[in-house]
Structure 1
Amino acid sequence: MVSARVVKITHTVLFTLVLLASVICLGISGALVGHYNKEGYPPVHTGAYRDRIRITLVASVWSTAFAIILTIGFQLFGDNIAFGLLPHLIPVAIGFILFMIGAASLTALTNKIDCGLAGQTFSKCGVVKGLVVISWIDTILLLITLVFIITLCFIARGRYGVHKSTLYAD
């Protein structure tokens, strides 16, 4: 079956990647919100850009916070129920949903925009496109992490019944 060492290594790698992508997304989306609050949003779809960039900011704050908490907590207290299956599953699922909403809606809004032709009418166009890319990367990493946790849930359920609550399957 799955050993505790494999779970710990996989958990560390996945959550470190999620943390790294979330911090990058947090920096980009925070900088965009600050810039657009000061300079004004693009003239086309002003409210749409504001809302979509802010949902990406919320998703990155959520994922960054829980990636830090779950990574450090699991490394120190892996056998504790506070860092078991359900406390991992819920924040990762919420983060995945938030990033899916933010990345998909921002992609739909910027899909047909060419930053070279936008010129002065759309400041920070390339940065917004970069936010779309890192948001999708974070969404994919969170999906992989979610699949990992759900797989551990099924392993724990099949092996221990409904009472197994920690992330370790042994």
Structure 2
Amino acid sequence: MPSDRAVRISHSVLFGLTLLVSIIALIISATLVAHYNKDGYPPVHTSAYTARIRILLVASVWMTAFGIILTVGFQLLGNHVAFGILSHLVPTTIGFILYVIGAASLTALTDKIDCGKSGDSYSRCGVVKGLVVISWIDTIILLITLVFLITLAFVARGRYGVHKSTLYAD
């Protein structure tokens, strides 16, 4: 089992990165939703843009909220069952799934669009492409975080049996 210090540092780095990137995605997706709600979505595939940008907004709100809760809670109460492996795995897995769905679907929608040639018909094209990029970055960080958590779960189970539920070694 890794030492308490190694787990605490790894956790802080991974969830700190997740939180930072999720906040950036939250800002971008929220400004896009606000802009498009005010000025209208692009004329082509209006409902598709609405759903795909909003799913990324939900994913970023989800991961920002749980990123704050898990990062601060783990630093303060790391030995408590409330901040154990399962309470990390569930929200991280849900966030990962939301980001994969949102990023993949928005990528498929914007893949063939050239922002330089779209002109005024597609306002904020570059920002939408930026949202795609930051969403994929967050998806990759969440995948790394999930691998870390699953590895830690197997190590903890092997050493402590089924009853060990926190990330720390006693």
- TM bucket (normalised to shorter chain) is over 0.9
Q: Distance in 2 between matches of 1:115 and 1:85?
A: 43
Contact 1:152 / 1:169 at 8 angstroms: preserved in 2? no
Equivalenced residue count is: 170
Shift of 1:78: 0.2
Residue 152 of structure 1 aligns with which residue?
A: 152
Residue 6 of structure 2 aligns with which residue?
A: 6
Structure 1 unaligned regions, length at least 5: none
SS in 1 for 2:79: coil
Runs of 4+ in 1 over 2 A off after TM superposition: none
Shift of 1:169: 3.8
Partner deviation per Cα, 1:93-113 (whole Å, 9 max, x = no partner): 000000000000000000000
Residue 104 of structure 1 aligns with which residue?
A: 104
Residue 23 of structure 1 aligns with which residue?
A: 23
Contact 1:155 / 1:169 at 8 angstroms: preserved in 2? no
The sequence identity of aligned pairs, in percent, is 74
Partner deviation per Cα, 1:81-101 (whole Å, 9 max, x = no partner): 000010000000000000000
Q: Distance in 2 between matches of 1:89 and 1:39?
A: 39
Residue 80 of structure 1 aligns with which residue?
A: 80
Shift of 1:136: 0.3
Give the letter aligned to residue 119 of structure 2.
G
Shift of 1:168: 1.4
Residue 167 of structure 1 aligns with which residue?
A: 167
Partner deviation per Cα, 1:112-170 (whole Å, 9 max, x = no partner): 00000111110000000000000000000011111100001000111111111001145
Contact 1:8 / 1:75 at 8 angstroms: preserved in 2? yes
Residue 136 of structure 1 aligns with which residue?
A: 136
Asked if residue 66 in structure 1 is aligned to residue 66 in structure 2, the reply is yes
Structure 2 unaligned regions, length at least 5: none
Q: Distance in 1 between matches of 2:118 and 2:66?
A: 37
TM-score scaled by length of structure 2: 0.99
